[in-house]
A = this chain, B = another copy of it.
Amino acid sequence: MAETGTRVQADVLKDFCRRVFEKMGVAPDDAAITADVLVQADLRGIDSHGVARLGRYVNGLRDGIIVARPEEKVVTETPTTVTLDAGAGLGQPVGYRAMKKAMEKARQYGCGFAAVRNSNHYGIAGYYAMMALEQDMIGFSTTNADVLVVPTFGRDAMYGTNPLALAVPAGQERPFVLDMATSTVPRGKLEVYHRLEKPIPLGWATDERGIPTTDPGRVLDNFAKRAGGGLLPLGGAGEEFSGYKGYGLGLLVEILSAVVPGAAYLTSVYPKSPEGKPLPANLGHFFGAWRLDAFRPVEEFKADMDDLIRRLKGGRLAEGATRIYIHGEKEFEEAERRSQAGIPLGAKVVANLQQIAAELGLPSPL
């Protein structure tokens, strides 16, 4: 987290992002949704998925890899399921609408699911899962992603950090919001260690031979050269710490997000033309919602969630530990702080936003 440097209020940042997307030809509603997803990531302290990424979306829109005004289509629909073709548009607006559809179906039938093909990076998975909370539903979302993770016993990265998110309402307590990549760590963590010239723990990534390495620079270099190796699944290399479970979870996400809707999977994600030009990513997402009262009365459910959360937080601490967390708790606290104090932006991000503003002839938010 960038705790020093410039701080900007969320609304200012959101308004700027909205204008940027509109300037790039994105429809006003879609621009507003995408801006909201990005700035929510920043508010929650997930800086890697916030405005730091704005330039990549702008470039994608400029290159036509991301279609500004896509033709979104329903491919298949049943009372409780729908498959959408995003028309190579931004992942956020179609993600928002797909989750809304899943929730409408859940409202009517008890549960609902939406799968999306032909899409792009959709930001934080937790955003969509959390949409269910205000309607007393459990929300679920997964997406596949750029190829960075090696299967157990494999040498080459063959699938992405493939996150899954589950959001569950509570009563007095904050909701449970699990939002996790299925790799041990994201690529960004290697970049941080590389900048600090620190070795990474054995079990985060492998070198070009497929052997765990402590050298983050070597891994990043191999990514650039497509030389082999990559991030390890949750649980690390081989079987000693059950890395095949993390690999299995990565495939669970790959199947739900990509095979179910008919998107690109494995190494076909982020394809290039014969001349090396990037082609549309054809990423896929998966969304789900279950109404709480389709299983038991909402108040009973929430009282039990409160009790579960309190018992966990009140558990005895391991020696040297200071606190037991519930998933999402750190992010809710960070969002409260940043809503007040503003969102801290590092120098590199500030420069990037200023450059985007200048290029598009927009007033800089900074």
Contacts and interface: CB of A to CB of B under 8 A. Distances in A.
A290 interface: yes
Contacts of A266: 308, 311-312
Contacts of A201: 240-241
Contacts of A152: 324-325
Contact of A166 (B252, B291, B295): B252
B210 A321 contact: yes
A154 B328 CA distance: 17
Given A210-B321, A316-B228, A185 B294 contact: no
A248 interface: yes
B259 A301 contact: yes
B241 A318 contact: no
Interface string A287-310: 000111111100011001100100
Given A228-B316, A260-B296, 9 more contacts: A76-B293, A76-B295, A76-B296, A78-B291, A81-B111, A81-B290, A154-B316, A178-B249, A260-B292
Interface in A317-342: 317-327
Given A113-B290, A316-B228, A324-B151, A262 B300 contact: yes
A99 to B, nearest CB: 16
A91 interface: no
Contacts of A78: 109-110, 291, 294
Contacts of A158: 311-312, 315
B316 A178 contact: no
A116 B251 CA distance: 27
A248 B155 CA distance: 28
B206 A318 contact: yes
Contacts of A315: 151, 154-156, 158
Interface string A181-213: 010110000000000000001011010011100
Interface string A100-113: 00000000011101
A261 B297 CA distance: 10
A204 B241 CA distance: 7
A168 interface: yes
A94 interface: no
A234 interface: yes
A163 B81 CA distance: 26
A13 interface: no
Contacts of A260: 138, 290, 292, 295-296, 301
Nearest to A111: B80
Nearest to A201: B240
Contacts of A182: 245
